[in-house]
């Protein structure tokens, strides 16, 4: 079935959606994006994603082309048009088209694209079995807190991990884990969650924030500090969080089993309470 996508004010069959060859998102990765999960035809953690979208645009000196009500209506409309009960919405906003120059042009019209992907986010086999990761150097740019489309290195890292027989990569800088290729990295030590604090080194994960808040309310301790690869390998548990996978246990790092080598009770509990809370609050 052909999807309907939104592009610059028009609803189009996916094969008819075309972007200018001079779009700065295409030429310079001068664009930001967000991904929102859809469950039961409703949006999960939408408000936090919308807030991060505006922050990313602000950090790049771009205005948001929608007010809050219009942006929400657009998300609901694309879900309805494509009959998405469970899956993802991808939104990308670039600075728009202009003649190629390194100096950022003024007064360009942004390019806005939305499309949907149908995906099973609730019954995720990896959540039940856990995933394996390998560690790789973090060679990305220094403003990882901005959710830009500069995703070549994470894509290379994920592909290298797959070539090594792993499910994902954990990126490492100065001996410390930053994050996964497209998710936040966490470990469990002494029954407490240890996760890197917010800063320019990592994306300010929406699911990360929700999970940590719920953990604290559930009586699970949280320590926000950098952690080493060695700590991760010797941890009781490890897991990732993201909008596309919620909470997924990590059962092996660089071939070394984490804890028992099976999903642990903290990760299982976090996935349980996250899904119950956020799905109840989905809009």
* 147 flagged as catalytic: yes
Cβ atoms < 10 Å from Cβ of 219: 6
Euclidean distance between the first and the last CA atom of the chain, given in angstroms as a whole number: 26
Angle at 116 between CA 115 and CA 119, to 5 degrees: 155
How far apart CA 260 and CA 141 sit, in angstroms, is: 35
How far apart CA 257 and CA 234 sit, in angstroms, is: 9
Question: Which of 106, 118, 119, 147 is labelled catalytic?
Answer: 147
As annotated, the active-site residues are 147
């Amino acid at each position: 079935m052909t999807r309907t996508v939104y592009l610059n004010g028009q609803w189009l069959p996916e094969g008819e959606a075309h972007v200018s060859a001079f779009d700065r998102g295409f030429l310079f990765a001068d664009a930001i994006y967000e991904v929102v999960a859809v469950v039961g035809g409703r949006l999960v953690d939408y408000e936090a994603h919308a807030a991060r979208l505006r922050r990313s645009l602000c950090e790049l000196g771009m205005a948001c082309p929608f007010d809050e009500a219009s942006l929400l209506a657009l998300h609901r409309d694309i879900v309805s048009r494509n009959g998405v009960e469970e899956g993802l919405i991808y939104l990308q906003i670039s600075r728009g088209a202009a003649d190629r120059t390194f100096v950022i042009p003024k007064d360009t019209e942004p390019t806005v694209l939305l499309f949907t992907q149908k995906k099973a986010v609730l019954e995720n086999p990896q959540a039940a079995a856990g995933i394996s990761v390998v560690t790789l150097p973090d060679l990305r740019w220094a403003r990882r807190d901005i959710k830009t489309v500069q995703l070549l290195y994470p894509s290379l890292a994920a592909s290298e991990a797959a070539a090594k027989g792993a499910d994902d990569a954990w990126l490492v800088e100065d001996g410390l884990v930053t994050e996964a290729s497209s998710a936040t990295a966490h470990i469990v030590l002494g029954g407490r969650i240890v996760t890197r604090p917010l800063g320019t080194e990592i994306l300010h994960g929406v699911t990360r924030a929700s999970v940590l808040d719920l953990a604290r309310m559930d009586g699970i301790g949280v320590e926000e500090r950098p952690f080493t690869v060695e700590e991760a390998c010797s941890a009781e548990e490890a897991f990732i969080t993201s909008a596309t996978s919620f909470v997924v246990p990590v059962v092996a790092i660089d071939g070394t089993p984490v804890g028992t080598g099976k999903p642990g009770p903290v990760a299982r509990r976090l996935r349980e309470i996250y899904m119950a809370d956020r799905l109840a609050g989905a809009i």
